[in-house]
Every structure is written in structure tokens, then in C-alpha cells.
Structure 1
Amino acid sequence: MSQLHVVCPHCHTTNRVHADDLGQAPDCGSCHQALFTGAPTNVTATEFERHIARSQLPVLVDFWAPWCGPCRMMAPAFEQAAARLEPRVQLVKLNTDEAQGVGARLNIRSIPTLALFIGGREVARQAGAMGAPDIVRWTEAQLSRTGATA
């Protein structure tokens, strides 16, 4: 039975979880809250780096800003997608106004932008607002293309 590193959406501690237990509502060993909430996690630049570098699950990131109309329109769809993609994929939201350095380093030119990270590397990117079924379909297609299994 293999173990995966999963970053807690609450305290951002890295946890070891048996792959077979992902669907069994595992809790964080540090804060004892659920590792999978069925909702995206808002992260700071530091927390973003931790999730990308330490999680062995694919991480889908929504780069957004509060002033962006399409970002606000896509927010409920991203929430719905989280409920469908977890625990195979962790979903996080990064406010590019608050984390301008990350946006610049990753060359985020328009928002909303979705980026899929696997093993600390960006493997796919999609700009523009999408509905929940499209987010799920796009993410699953990228996971299939890269051979990622979670």
C-alpha cells in the first residue's frame, strides 16, 4: 500500500495518507480537520508554494483577482468542480493581487487562469472562465494526457 503526501487545506501541514484511504475522509494529523472539504482552498504565496512542492496529488490552481468579473463568475463553478475532483485532485485559489510575485514568476498574463501542477511542475494551463463540467473535463483530460493517477 503506497503512501502519498497531502497538504492540509487548513493548517498547511504535510500529511502521509495511504492511497487506498483517500476516499475515506482522512483527517490532518496536526489540526485534526478534514484533508478534503469538497471546496477549494484560498492560499497565500507561501501556502501556494507549499501545496505545489509537497503535495503528491495533482493541484489545480485558479489564479484570480477580486476585481475580475469573469473570475467572480467562475468561482461557483470552481467550487462545484472541487466537489467532483477531490480527493484525486486538490483545488486551490490564489489571488494574484496579493501574490503578484507568483503571478509574475509563472507568467500569468490573464485571469482567470487555471494551471495544473503535478510533482511540483506545471503540466497544463487554461485561460478564461469555464463552467464546472468544463473544468472537470479539462482537468481529467490533462491527468489522462500526463498519465497521472491519484
Structure 2
Amino acid sequence: MPDPIQFACPHCLAMNRVPQTRLGDKPNCGKCKQGLFAGEPITLTARNFDAIVSRSELPVVVDFWASWCGPCKAMAPVFAQTAAQMEPGIRFAKLETDAEQSLAGRFNIRSIPTLVVFRQGRELARQAGAVQGSQLRQWLTPHLLKTA
């Protein structure tokens, strides 16, 4: 049996350890008792970024976007739909670059939308520009954790 992986609750940011093979069993947070996965992207801020992205052993794909960006708006439903399909093998999160300029600068985001896959705060892959759902799933597949 694979070792448990550690990742933050999206609600209270408490760290949870869950056996990798049990991720698909709809686990709840040990502290706040809320579901650890909702099948939708988490909104990232300076307050929760390190817990959700930097300390997580669960891969996290972050959509760096802006409210005024047409391609970002067009890609938002594709990103949300893909989250519903691919969680819990990978966590989905969104970071609005205008609201969190220091985080966007920290990761050298120069164009939006930009997707970045992280694991334990380390960048694994980057994709600039809007993509279709099938392209997004194909791009993310190598980073998925086995959940069963």
C-alpha cells in the first residue's frame, strides 16, 4: 500500500494525511470535518497559497488568470469541468493575478492564462495560453496520482 500523502484542507488549511488509494473515498478533514475535495477549483490567496501549494504532496495545477482577460474567461468553464473529472488525483486552484500581484511576480507570470503544475511547491510543468478540455487533460495526465 502506498504511503499516505499530506495536503491541506481547502477550508481550514489543516494538514491531513490520507492514504493515496483512499483519496477517491471522499475523505473529510480531520480538524474541521469538511470534505477535502469538492471537484471544483480552490481560490488561492496570499493567505492560503503556501498551505495549498507549497506544503502539499498532492499535485496542484494553478490557473493564473485575470478578470479582464477574455481567454481566461473562456477557459474558466473548461478548467472547472476538468477539475470535476480529474480530482482527487490532482488539486485544481485559481489565482487572480491582479489581486495577488506578488504571487504572480514570484512565479514570473508574464501572460495569462498560465497554468502551472506544482508538487510540494516545486514547479513541474507550465502551459501559457487557453487550452481545450482534451488538451488540458492530456497535459495533466503525467502528473496525476493513482487514487485506486
Which residue number in structure 1 is paired with residue 14 of structure 2? 13
Verify the 8 A CA contact 1:62 1:112 in the aligned structure 2: yes
TM-score, normalising length from structure 2? 0.92
Structure 1 or 2: more helix by fraction: 1
**1:46 partner SS:** coil
Match of 2:136 in 1: 135
Aligned AA (1:25): K
Higher relative contact order (CA 8 A, sep 6+): 2
Q: Secondary structure at the match of 1:45?
A: coil
Q: Are residue 47 (structure 1) and residue 25 (structure 2) matched?
A: no
One-letter amino acid matched to 2:106: R
* Counterpart-to-counterpart distance in 1, 2:137 and 2:86: 7
Residue 19 (structure 1) shift: 1.5
Q: How does 1:120-131 map to 2 (within 5 A)?
A: 120-131=121-132
Identical residues among aligned pairs (%): 49
Gaps of 5+ in 2: none
Q: CA deviation at 1:62?
A: 0.3
Cα distance in 1 for partners of 2:82, 2:118 equals 16
CA distance in structure 1 between the aligned counterparts of 2:32 and 2:67, rounded to whole angstroms: 29
1-side partners of 2:135 and 2:72: how far apart? Answer: 15
Partner of 2:78: 77
User: 2:21 and 2:96 mapped to 1: Cα distance?
Assistant: 33
Amino acid at match of 1:99: E
- List, as ranges, runs of 4+ consecutive aligned residues in structure 1 with deviation greater than 3 Å: none
Aligned residues: 145
User: Following superposition of structure 1 onto structure 2, how do residues 49-64 of structure 1 map, counting pairs within 5 Å?
Assistant: 49-64=50-65
- Matches of 1:67 and 1:123 in 2, distance apart? 27
Q: Distance in 1 between matches of 2:134 and 2:141?
A: 11
**Unpaired stretches in structure 1, ≥5 consecutive residues:** none
- CA-to-aligned-CA distance 1:67-123 (integer Å, 9 cap, x gap): 111111110000011012111100100011111001111110001000000222001
Equivalent-residue separation in structure 1 for 2:44 and 2:35 (angstroms): 17
Query: Structure 1: which amino acid aligns with 2:34?
Result: Q
TM-score under structure 1 normalisation?
0.91
Residue 116 of structure 1 corresponds to 117
RMSD: 1.3
